[in-house]
Structure 1
């Protein structure tokens, strides 16, 4: 086999993935070592099963979180994010939130430092997984959550500080703001949402929908109230659809225009003809209505594009419908430069650390996403087949075991072994 090499990007924007590839990983804090030990065996077995020795992964550990702090005094060394950027594709476990000042969230810091503007969360149901809803199998969505702007940009000023007084005075005295109800005790935050940031997210979501033969893209927003931020997120999303993907999509903005010019009947006929021709429908939904409708009619939604805070709520709400965040995968991706960090989406659960107890499904399915991103679909298929058969046989970790009749409880490591056996 050829020497191991990193993933690179071709001139046409596609990834070049060597058969013997180097992939950086961050083990993670708390339960991170437990779930990584189980997951990495699944990854290696899937590659071996799919390619019979023709492809192989060389894992390169990089450091963040407690292990990095203990070794270097830094929670997120620059060397770590430089290595991730240089190798393009990587995977990580959960990271702790540092105590004290400085970095508020290591996960957010990685996303912002590397400009990973898409938080991508696929949500689907696996037969046999306990669910609190009657028809979880109707949930099959992929969320594109904006990662770098909005409330999560972290532009906040503490109440009573010199900075918040300066900002408050500017808002009140220079801009005439009168809606700060309790100005003397208010903390203030700023919510930047740009045309560039909104459009690149919508562009990635629409292109993904086209590439994966999905049916629709929904822009989820609160633009009826926040008109110049989330309202423009919707407007800019429709502009991307109508100006950059006009031959491949049909948008509700186009429907409104036709309705205004020719009437409702003509607009409905135009939309029906577009969908019959195979175009993707680009629509929108106010976020509070969306949170209702994913419970009452989830089959109507497919790919979701949404600002940061909405995406945080929606991701976890949908994960609960299909069995919980313990098996919810995720990735942070810059579709323009190709850098992608796949990750467990749950927390560090320190009280379970070292017990070989928790469900490694989130990081395992994030690895499945990673393989598809790399074009190693056969290895990804092996993981799905192994996981489906394991859950169907009711051999599960404690979180599912307590909710399933007649199930066999497995340790974290045993669950990984069962997936390998069932590939």
Structure 2
């Protein structure tokens, strides 16, 4: 079976790290077809849109999408984000954003005594605070107002919480729900109620609810007290950036946007952004992109290949072939070469 993979290399350092992820995956010898989709800021500057009108139909023709990063100083961030990534997530209904946070051997830690870090975040990916519901009125006047409405649905909460419990049952058996129901009386009270309902039918998995501010502190103070964290769109976005730093930095962070149980192609991307300040310098960290490829292979049912690639990443980190952001001196391509050779 040949897997057809769409590649949106994107902007800034995106094409550099995606190239290394492709190199590492190609070393596995799988039956893959890569198809480049030239979407992003350059496409916007040429056409006035981040991607073409038929983008959703195009993406549905593939088994998975590898995304580098989108964003450029020449275009406002909300234009690039709402012009490509968020529409793909929402209109393809990729409701689960899965982000592992594990500190690999050899990678320096920002925490004293280098505690173990091994968390998995399941972030609701299509509604919540990033639903895009709202607007602005009285533009340009002193009484201008901007309204941003969070949308929480019972069905949307339930499916992502159910998935978190399913994943926790395969790990250390603990789900921590990030909430703020003491201050947000509607959306997060509903969130808590649904988490309790799901927990009742998963007696083999322990569960707890923690206010998001206290949870952020606990991640730093006692990271191994956490296993699977389930969170809303906004809370998951913030907490996973903290988690990325705990695992060595943003360059190490991988993610998968998927619709478990559906045949919709997932989107697999490092979460470090386009990093235009280091683009073209050969110093961008490709581990996050390669780790995202591991998640892609798992999603495609290529578990053996995913395990081989992850072991290669672990070995290269342990041996010290790392970019300078994680304590090494290797270039982007040297890291990719090392991982491919280890595979």
Q: Does 1:158 align with 2:136?
A: yes
Q: Partner residue of 1:329?
A: 254
Q: Partner residue of 1:40?
A: 22
Q: Does 1:350 align with 2:271?
A: no
How much has 1:185 moved relative to structure 2?
4.9
Counterpart CA distance in 2 for 1:241 and 1:348 is: 38
Note if contact 1:153-1:192 (Cα within 8 Å) is conserved in structure 2: yes
Note if contact 1:64-1:80 (Cα within 8 Å) is conserved in structure 2: no
Q: Does 1:187 align with 2:128?
A: no
TM-score (norm 1): 0.75
SS in 2 for 1:153: strand
Q: Does 1:108 align with 2:66?
A: no
| Correspondence for 2:334 among 403, 406, 414 | 414
Counterpart CA distance in 2 for 1:200 and 1:161 is: 38
How much has 1:190 moved relative to structure 2?
1.1
How much has 1:113 moved relative to structure 2?
2.1
Q: Does 1:369 align with 2:295?
A: yes
Aligned in 2, Cα 1:69/1:415: closer, same or farther, shift over 3 Å?
A: same
Q: Does 1:299 align with 2:274?
A: no
Q: Does 1:121 align with 2:99?
A: yes
Q: Does 1:57 align with 2:45?
A: no
Q: Partner residue of 1:382?
A: 308
Note if contact 2:171-2:227 (Cα within 8 Å) is conserved in structure 1: no
| Correspondence for 1:392 among 290, 307, 318 | 318
Note if contact 1:230-1:307 (Cα within 8 Å) is conserved in structure 2: no
How much has 1:107 moved relative to structure 2?
2.0
| Correspondence for 1:196 among 140, 152, 155 | 155
How much has 1:135 moved relative to structure 2?
5.0
Q: Partner residue of 1:236?
A: 194
Deviations 1:93-137 (A, max 9, x none): 101168268665332222122121111111101011111113555
Counterpart CA distance in 1 for 2:311 and 2:128 is: 38
How much has 1:186 moved relative to structure 2?
4.1
Aligned in 2, Cα 1:223/1:82: closer, same or farther, shift over 3 Å?
A: same
How much has 1:80 moved relative to structure 2?
3.0
Q: Partner residue of 2:58?
A: 83
Counterpart CA distance in 1 for 2:332 and 2:300 is: 26
Counterpart CA distance in 2 for 1:139 and 1:215 is: 16
SS in 1 for 2:49: coil
Aligned in 2, Cα 1:303/1:135: closer, same or farther, shift over 3 Å?
A: farther
Q: Partner residue of 1:134?
A: 112
Counterpart CA distance in 2 for 1:133 and 1:386 is: 25
| Correspondence for 2:75 among 94, 99, 105 | 99
Counterpart CA distance in 1 for 2:166 and 2:62 is: 24
Aligned in 2, Cα 1:237/1:136: closer, same or farther, shift over 3 Å?
A: farther
Structure 1: tracts of 5 or more residues without a match:
1-17, 49-54, 166-182, 251-278, 402-406
Alignment of 1:5-24 (within 5 A): 18=1, 20-24=2-6
TM-score (norm 2): 0.91
Aligned in 2, Cα 1:322/1:241: closer, same or farther, shift over 3 Å?
A: same
Structure with greater strand percent: 2
SS in 1 for 2:66: strand
Q: Does 1:148 align with 2:126?
A: yes
SS in 2 for 1:312: helix
Q: Does 1:30 align with 2:9?
A: no
Structure 2: tracts of 5 or more residues without a match:
none
Structure with greater helix percent: 1
Deviations 1:208-238 (A, max 9, x none): 223x344111111101111211121111122
SS in 2 for 1:91: strand
How much has 1:416 moved relative to structure 2?
0.5
Aligned in 2, Cα 1:71/1:188: closer, same or farther, shift over 3 Å?
A: closer
